[in-house]
Structure 1
Amino acid sequence: MVTEMVSHYKIIEKLGGGGMGVVYKAEDTKLSRTVALKFLPPELTMDDESKQRFINEARLASSLQHNNVCSIHDIDETEDGQIFICMDYYDGETLKEKIKNGPLKLSQTIDISVQIASGLLKAHENKIIHRDIKPANIFLTNDGVVKILDFGLAKLSGQLKISKMGSTLGTVAYMSPEQAKGDEVDNRTDIWSLGVVMYEMLTGQLPFKSEYEQTILYSIFNEEPEPTTALRTGVPMELERIILKALSKNPGDRYHHVDEMIVDLKNIKITEQRLGVKRTQYTRVRKPKSIFYWTAAIILLIASVFLVWDFIRSNSAEPDKSKFIAVLPFQPINNTEDDITFANGIHDDVITQLSKIGELKIIAKSSVIEYQDSKKSIKEIADELGVGTVLSGSTRRSNNLIRVNVQLIDVETGGHLWAESYDRPYDDIFAIQSDLSIKIATALQIKLAKEELTSIQTEPTGNMLAWDCFRKGKYFWEISYNFEGNIKAAEMFREACSLDTNFALAWAYQSMAYSTVVSQSPSFKERAVFIQKAEYSLQKALETGQGLPETHLAEAHYFYHIKSDLDAAILETEVSNTMRPNDASTLYFMSILVSNKGNWQRGFELAEETYRLDPKGSGGPLLGTWSAFGLGRYKDAEKWADIMINSDPESGVGYALKLRAVFQGQGEIERAESILRNAKRFVTRDNYHLITFEYLLCLYKRDYKGALSALTDFKYPIRFYFRAIAYRLMNNQQEAIANFDSARVLYTDLLASNPESKTARMRLGLVYAGLGDKIKALEEVSYTSIDSRKQFEIDYLYLFILLNEKEKALDILEKFINDKSELTYYMLKYDPRLDPLRSELKFQNLLKKAKE
């Protein structure tokens, strides 16, 4: 029993109890805060050895600092020797209590599952296994945040064999087979338990249930759960696949790491969004007025699509639709995990193979994936994608045998141009793909060039396990644009290369993945490691597959992300595009490169091509906005931005680009403020550029406190430079110098990991200029040239203003205006950073010229 006061904690009320102890709400009288105290059963600490074991486990658990893990603050002991732990107190309810009210919504289930998995990921990264994931140990705060409770305690109870009737029966239902047998467990036991919890959230019942513990154990060891789709309508097949994979009896058949599960769960969210399903956080209730915004968004989307298509058609001849092909997602016949994985893989493979044929225009996978299980007719899909031919198919895989059925359909007549069924061993997969591609070309009366035929018939590897790993890596590479997803892709490519050291395609993709994460990694020290891995895998790709288009593309990524060599990157991308001319991702990357060089017209043309091949993707509109801005076509830039916003209203990128077009391109400050307010209603991610333009908008309004406020949650290295500029404009030199110096430290560390980063050199040069060190500033920027990257143009201008070199700054400004650079009249008119030049006659004349 506990008294009213325990140590410096005042007991307020009992919150609950179970096999792992009793919990009280209490006040920490020292820190004046509300906490939760958990008093452990005496069995856990009955002797010194047990007590020390508990302290060690609790200390390890307390080291976990994550938003989805309950924080442990203290471990203490009452006067009579009872051990207790002090934890955060939260308002809300346990998941167990929530499930009592019935099954959860699909969106709630996915959101809660992702949060639980995120907390487990943090634990597993620190070599901590929970061992007792169940609804009673999952707390849902009133703010919608999931908190995992009782890390470390399950291990102790297992060691001491605590077994109380009624307290363990619920726990057994969530145990993995290996845990129930008393075998050694790893992180996959938590993945099993999470699968059980997800099943229960979806259906309101357990997958393995009985009134008797032994019956539950028998079911766990020997029986398969009833499918969630049989117990509830509307459950996505992909969600059921995730749960069944987590509940595989053999740990080797489960997800190996919980981050794989997170990616799959988030992909369901993406799919729901693309299908137009409104996703709502389970604690958020939308006000009725939000219906207006979503309705308006749909209307704007339809209008903007027609506007952009009208724009494209007015600038180019109508293409021959018969040569545009949409390869629809292949349907798995049996819906087993093997079937689904195989169908996804061969769908990707066929698109890749067909994109090698120059006369064909293949719609990107990202634009056709939403038609998985679609009820729309072939004609409706073809009209939406702008194609004249559709390839559909179904697949089945059973051990080493596969069946592939395909039909090539003429949209206008509805007839089959060609159809075939393949029943082959899995090892013949490459032969099937080659034959399929050749026969499609024949059906469309296309004569293949010798190089095309050779490329199509070349088998990438003779090791099918390596091929499976490569496919998994390609999956992560295509759906993930962030650091974690690209790292996962790199790891799968690396595993493929370990199984077949001559697998050139896998080496090339591995190099691309590592090159990309160099600029994404939050750790400067990690970047040096990634550079080495990118270089090594690129060298292996060159040794084993120099003639592959992917190898040239890997070189391009290396030159762009690591060497900052645009000319070399463009050259390699052009070679890759020649060999594989209809790959939307290659066209997208080339548009980025040529636009960075200031070739806005070519960038715009490539953006149009990207959009034509990937009409549902964001790449074309993004680059269309950027390049249209560079061409001074600000209304067109705004149209492209509207496409992005209305297709993905939760991403900040489209709003940021629209802000740029409106206030920097057209000088409409008030309208920009309205766009920004609207963005804040919707945006939940990708806010780097949105925050940047909010900051710039505040600068243009000379609201410097607002500019600083915009940077509150900005975590990127450039934040210190931005803050320094704002303080400098406020004439607060002390804070300006302090932030310039913080930026100096960060960019110095960045250059230590990647000395060839011209972007970091330019930033460090600006910082030294702000600190008044002219020699070091000029030394850093000497590594770049004004022509090396058009994106540096305004940085060069600011650098010489910071150095009080007005004549040099005006000369640079004159060159930029004569070259029709991205600098606009309104940027020159409103930007307070240019104030030191405004009194100069030359500046006034240049301002007039910019307006012409």
Structure 2
Amino acid sequence: MIIFEGKIVYDEDDNEYCLEKQIGEGGFGKVYLAKWKSDNKKFAIKILDNSFSNEKAYTSFINEITLASKISSRNVIKYEYTHTGEIFKELGPYIIMEYADNGSLEETLVRQKKIERQFSNEELKNIFLNLAKGMKDINSKLIHRDIKPENILWVGEILKISDFGISKVSSDITRTKTFKGYGSKKYSAPEVWQMDRTTIKTDIYSMGIVFYELATLNYPYEVKNSKYNEVHLYKNILPLQQFNENLSVEFIVLINKMLKKKANERFENWDEIIDFINTVSISEKIIELEDIVNEAVSKQILCDIEKEKESLKIERRNQEKTDFYSMVYYQYKTDILEKISEFGEKNTIVMR
């Protein structure tokens, strides 16, 4: 499909949308600003790359995009129309969606870092609640698999989650030898790196990293040589209070639990997270007892971090042993067993 500025695409009622200019690009394809020809209302249209590796990948995309079109939420970008490539065959697959006119959360984080201003606990509570509610609605239909600040957009003053239902398109095209999972390396849960089944808890982990960045204006791990698999699998997150000493202890507990390495140690669902956030008190500290309790909770958090660190060390050593034994067996098989087999075959031929 050849797409260019001025191209016309259609919805199910044959309404015409004129592509004005390209405003984005990713593993999935390209994004265009478009206007509905009848009243010039703005929309964003994602033109999806249809280079699927096989029929199964295409069928999976159809299933996901069909589910995605059924999601309706205040904190989710609305899909006005999804075209799978069947009706207007000359146009290929695309999505007509609500236009986000105020940038992305990624741009907001960049601005906050530039002026060195942390979000207040009150601001964080509001943002966390909106994102959790949006994720609850998305996860009621499907797993997002590609949560990151670039995929969270501002429509006016409202944060809305985007790009749900298309991660399989992007991943099928952009997978590499070192990363076979879905989503973005910086935000991918341990189970993604281990090629395990993705669940709601996979999205909870990814959003936990977004929450961490919002709470601290920093990434939760020290990454060397872009080895994101190592940090997600074996490294503890950096203490949140190291970057934001005014951060609510409850938010520290929240984010730590969202970022547990083992999926069964994270929150079960978004309802639990929403209930937890709603219990966070933002009022000024007026009781000495509260300081004592917060200090005790902080100590417990540090204790839990040390325990997890030791557990991860043991897990990593065990994995290294397994990898070493696998390598030795492979070398034994290729360098010795196969040569013995070849030698035996040659001797058999000579004896004949």
In the alignment, the residues of structure 2 paired with residue 31 and residue 46 of structure 1 have an alpha-carbon distance, to the nearest angstrom, of 39
In the alignment, the residues of structure 2 paired with residue 94 and residue 212 of structure 1 have an alpha-carbon distance, to the nearest angstrom, of 27
Of 97, 111, 117, which residue of structure 2 is paired with 1:87?
97
Contact 1:208 1:225 (8 Å CA) reproduced: yes
* Residue aligning to 2:232: 220
Say if 1:327 and 1:37 are closer, same or farther in 2 by CA, change over 3 A: closer
In the alignment, the residues of structure 1 paired with residue 31 and residue 150 of structure 2 have an alpha-carbon distance, to the nearest angstrom, of 13
* Residue aligning to 2:211: 198
Query: Aligned pair 1:38/2:46, yes or no?
Result: yes
For 1:139, the aligned partner's letter is L
* Residue aligning to 1:24: 32
Higher RCO (C-alpha 8 Å, min separation 6) = 2
In angstroms, what is the RMSD of aligned CA positions? 3.1
Q: Deviations over 1:205-228 (max 9, x none)?
A: 211353644x11101111101111
Contact 1:114 1:262 (8 Å CA) reproduced: yes
Q: Deviations over 1:290-320 (max 9, x none)?
A: xxxxxxxxxxxxxxxxxxxxxxxxxxxxxxx
For 1:205, the aligned partner's letter is N
Say if 1:241 and 1:194 are closer, same or farther in 2 by CA, change over 3 A: same
Offset, 1:339:
8.3
* Residue aligning to 1:378: none
Offset, 1:5:
2.0
Q: Between the two proteins, what is the percent identity of the paired residues?
A: 25
TM-score of the superposition, structure 1-length normalised? 0.31
Of 323, 332, 335, which residue of structure 1 is paired with 2:299?
335
Say if 1:211 and 1:33 are closer, same or farther in 2 by CA, change over 3 A: farther
Say if 1:141 and 1:275 are closer, same or farther in 2 by CA, change over 3 A: farther
- Following superposition of structure 1 onto structure 2, how do residues 396-795 of structure 1 map, counting pairs within 5 Å? none
For 2:278, the aligned partner's letter is K
Of 132, 135, 147, which residue of structure 2 is paired with 1:120?
135
Of 62, 72, 79, which residue of structure 2 is paired with 1:65?
72
- Following superposition of structure 1 onto structure 2, how do residues 212-291 of structure 1 map, counting pairs within 5 Å? 212-213=225-226, 215-268=227-280, 271-273=281-283, 275=285
In the alignment, the residues of structure 1 paired with residue 164 and residue 274 of structure 2 have an alpha-carbon distance, to the nearest angstrom, of 20
* Residue aligning to 1:817: none
* Residue aligning to 2:344: none
Of 154, 163, 187, which residue of structure 1 is paired with 2:167?
154
For 1:130, the aligned partner's letter is H
Extract unaligned runs of 5+ from structure 2. Answer: 10-15, 308-352
Q: Deviations over 1:256-282 (max 9, x none)?
A: 1112112222222xx213659xxxxxx
Q: Deviations over 1:756-801 (max 9, x none)?
A: xxxxxxxxxxxxxxxxxxxxxxxxxxxxxxxxxxxxxxxxxxxxxx
SS in 2 for 1:272: coil
Of 98, 106, 109, which residue of structure 1 is paired with 2:108?
98
Query: Aligned pair 1:137/2:151, yes or no?
Result: yes
* Residue aligning to 2:323: none
In the alignment, the residues of structure 1 paired with residue 240 and residue 150 of structure 2 have an alpha-carbon distance, to the nearest angstrom, of 22
Say if 1:49 and 1:251 are closer, same or farther in 2 by CA, change over 3 A: closer
Extract unaligned runs of 5+ from structure 1. Answer: 277-325, 341-397, 399-852
* Residue aligning to 1:573: none
Contact 2:23 2:33 (8 Å CA) reproduced: yes
Offset, 1:141:
2.3
* Alignment coverage as a number of residue pairs: 285
* Residue aligning to 2:126: 111
Q: Deviations over 1:665-723 (max 9, x none)?
A: xxxxxxxxxxxxxxxxxxxxxxxxxxxxxxxxxxxxxxxxxxxxxxxxxxxxxxxxxxx
In the alignment, the residues of structure 2 paired with residue 333 and residue 172 of structure 1 have an alpha-carbon distance, to the nearest angstrom, of 31
Say if 1:27 and 1:46 are closer, same or farther in 2 by CA, change over 3 A: farther
**Greater Cα shift, 173-182 or 68-77:** 68-77
For 2:47, the aligned partner's letter is F
In the alignment, the residues of structure 1 paired with residue 183 and residue 197 of structure 2 have an alpha-carbon distance, to the nearest angstrom, of 21
For 1:244, the aligned partner's letter is N
Structure with greater helix percent: 1
Say if 1:160 and 1:25 are closer, same or farther in 2 by CA, change over 3 A: closer
Contact 1:173 1:209 (8 Å CA) reproduced: no
In the alignment, the residues of structure 1 paired with residue 91 and residue 40 of structure 2 have an alpha-carbon distance, to the nearest angstrom, of 25
* Residue aligning to 1:512: none
Contact 1:9 1:29 (8 Å CA) reproduced: yes
In the alignment, the residues of structure 2 paired with residue 129 and residue 253 of structure 1 have an alpha-carbon distance, to the nearest angstrom, of 19
Contact 2:118 2:244 (8 Å CA) reproduced: no
TM-score of the superposition, structure 2-length normalised? 0.72
Offset, 1:108:
2.8
For 2:299, the aligned partner's letter is N
SS in 2 for 1:260: helix
In the alignment, the residues of structure 2 paired with residue 333 and residue 119 of structure 1 have an alpha-carbon distance, to the nearest angstrom, of 29
* Residue aligning to 2:347: none
For 2:137, the aligned partner's letter is K
Offset, 1:336:
2.1
Query: Aligned pair 1:6/2:8, yes or no?
Result: yes
In the alignment, the residues of structure 1 paired with residue 26 and residue 126 of structure 2 have an alpha-carbon distance, to the nearest angstrom, of 27
Offset, 1:170:
8.5
Say if 1:338 and 1:162 are closer, same or farther in 2 by CA, change over 3 A: closer
In the alignment, the residues of structure 2 paired with residue 95 and residue 197 of structure 1 have an alpha-carbon distance, to the nearest angstrom, of 9
Q: Based on CA coordinates, which of the two structures has the bigger radius of gyration? A: 1
Offset, 1:79:
5.5
Say if 1:333 and 1:265 are closer, same or farther in 2 by CA, change over 3 A: closer
